Amino acid sequence: MKDFLAISDYSSAEVRDMLDLAVRLKQEYFTKGNQPIFKGKVLGMIFQKPSLRTRVSFDMAMRHCGGDALYLSPNEIGLGKRESIADVARVLSGYVQALMARVFEHEHVLELAKWSSIPVVNGLSDYNHPCQGMADALTIVEKFGNQQGLNVTFVGDGNNVAVSLMHVSAKLGWNFTLASPEGYDLDPKAVNVANTISAETGSTLSFVRDPHAAVKNAHVIYTDTWTSMGQEEETAKREKVFPPYQVNAKLVGEADKDVIVMHCLPAHRNHELTDEVADGPHSVIFPQAHNRLHAQKAILARLLGVA
């Protein structure tokens, strides 16, 4: 593994291997603490977008395993503005052992990986969110085991989080359904990639408008904010379109009796997700957030070749 830019870049076996390693590292952390497998390693963290989970989970993942992390704010780098992405990549390659970048444009993280001689991790882009997708998969596996044929439903905007959830679901043989309003569908390129994967694994992909039809027999209901960062000018319009896609107790009651409800956070409570559901018995949103830490340990371990 040279870089971690998209879940679709890896085979189903490689995705399962990283998830198995994440399980082992999580168990190790809670029993005796992680071994210092990242000793002498520093992760450079480039942020164009602010973050709570991405910053803290990567920083603590490095610390838990004996390494360190260096936060680089937007003002310090000005990626592609103050200095070219190619120059930033080549400079940082001589300072740290890996890079994580949380960017607006997917092309920026691809450009970093192109010019970097060290591993690059996509911490989020406008196209996908693969680290979130791995944490989501870890959470689902913890609940349901490694069984195939699970029904995973995303309700809301076909955004970058939905892309990675679709791809990891297809890789693991889970059936993926998106319920979204017209005009808020998934990137066709991402769907084409998922179709290729599902043809190999036997998973199914469904795209519907009706959220109630989408959650029938669902083992997982996933939602996200109606307006993602960088789309603030669309807020008023989206507030009129998305209310029928709210994940509330009625919708959850129409799914499988053991359904889990997921959200990548931050949540706009009582918009896309009601308090009753977010804090209810089906919610796994906080274990899901905590799993970012352990999934990312596994990703970094494979990239750095230390586990």
- Label residue 180 by pLDDT band (50, 70, 90): very high
Q: What is the pLDDT of residue 76?
A: 84
Tell me how far apart the alpha carbons of residues 120 and 63 are, in angstroms, rounded to a whole number. Answer: 18
The answer to whether residue 102 is catalytic is yes
Tell me how far apart the alpha carbons of residues 116 and 283 are, in angstroms, rounded to a whole number. Answer: 39
7-129+292-302 — its CATH code? 3.40.50.1370
Query: Does the pLDDT value for residue 225 go beyond 80?
Result: yes
pLDDT in tens, 246-281: 999 999 999 999 999 999 999 999 999 999 999 999
- Label residue 198 by pLDDT band (50, 70, 90): very high
Contact 168, 194 (CB under 8 A): no
Which residue among 292, 294, 296, 302 is the active-site one?
Answer: 292
Rg of the chain in Å (alpha carbons): 19
Which residue among 132, 246, 288, 296 is the active-site one?
Answer: 132
- Same CATH fold, 130-288 and 7-129+292-302? yes
Domain map (residue ranges) of the chain = 7-129+292-302, 130-288
The answer to whether residue 35 is catalytic is no
Which residue among 129, 167, 219, 238 is the active-site one?
Answer: 129
Which residue among 157, 167, 264, 271 is the active-site one?
Answer: 264
Q: What is the pLDDT of residue 1?
A: 78
Query: Does the pLDDT value for residue 204 go beyond 80?
Result: yes
Q: What is the pLDDT of residue 78?
A: 77
Q: Is the pTM of this model over 0.95?
A: yes
Which residue among 102, 108, 167, 219 is the active-site one?
Answer: 102
The answer to whether residue 90 is catalytic is no
**Mean pLDDT over the full length of the chain:** 96
Which residue among 224, 263, 271, 294 is the active-site one?
Answer: 224
Which has the closest alpha carbon to 306: 95, 41, 23?
Answer: 41
The answer to whether residue 63 is catalytic is no
pLDDT in tens, 30-88: 999 999 999 999 999 999 988 999 999 999 999 999 999 999 998 888 787 888 999 99
β-partners of residue 47 are 102
Concatenated DSSP letters of 224-237: --SS-TT-GGGHHH
pLDDT over 70 for what percent of the chain? Answer: 100
Residue 257 in 3-state DSSP?
Answer: coil
The answer to whether residue 65 is catalytic is no
Mean pLDDT of 285-290: 98
The answer to whether residue 210 is catalytic is no
130-288 — its CATH code? 3.40.50.1370
